[in-house]
Amino acid sequence: MKTKFIAAVAAAAGIATVAVAQENPTVGGAPMMADMTIAENASNAPNLTTLVSAVKAAGLAETLMGEGPYTVFAPTNDAFGMISEASLNQLLMDENRGQLQQILTCHVVATEAFSTDIAGMISDDGGMHVVPTVGGCGLEAYMEGGELKLKDENGRVATVTVADVDQSNGVVHVIDRVLLPAGQAG
């Protein structure tokens, strides 16, 4: 994982690197299998249980088991912990399914983009690349201090903490903050 991420940073800076084969990173200590779907792997990660519960409550589990390809920016349990428990519980209620779906799909891109791809787009766009999501959000991707960052339409910033988790139907990048559609507070 670090080798791929360093390669992405080097690519963004125009530095030549040598490709190194390596295993899929773990998430929350759980092995991630490249032959399993995003939904299957996320269900095995102990630090993504809130995300998995939210995906199920939103009725999106089938989608993330589908063919894809997808890129998912997956907030950890700690990221969801930054949202008040009352707000999170309200979002998980059936009557708020549409709002929950929009929030979650603002973490999904309808293509497979590894960190090297994202770093290349950032570099090509002069230091910042807008990533359009399935939920209609525009996330601003940029590099800061060697880390891949995403800023939502409300100015909230998430850092990619685990990049390039290969899946059978796309790729997952674990992030440390929940991103929200424009006008939603959290």
User: DSSP letter at 109?
Assistant: E
Ranges of each domain in the chain: 2-175
pLDDT band at 72 (very low <50, low <70, confident <90, very high): very high
CATH of domain 2-175: 2.30.180.10
For residue 22, the model assigns a pLDDT of 56
pTM comes to 0.86
SS3 111: coil
**CA dihedral of residues 90, 92, 96, 99 (deg, nearest 10):** 110
DSSP one-letter string for 25-61: PPBTTB---TTS-HHHHHHH-GGGHHHHHHHHHTT-T
- Residue 25 structure tokens: 């990173």
For residue 185, the model assigns a pLDDT of 60
Residues 102-143: pLDDT tens digits?
999 999 999 999 999 999 999 999 999 999 999 999 999 999
Whether residue 75 has a cis bond before it, omega within 30° of 0 = no
* Separation of first and last alpha carbons in the chain: 30
Residues 16-38: pLDDT tens digits?
333 444 588 999 999 999 999 99
Query: Angle between the 2-13 and 115-124 helix axes, to the nearest 10 degrees?
Result: 10
DSSP one-letter string for 115-167: HHHHHHHHHHTTS-EEEE-TTS-EEEEEEETTEEEEE-TTS-EEEEEEEEEEE
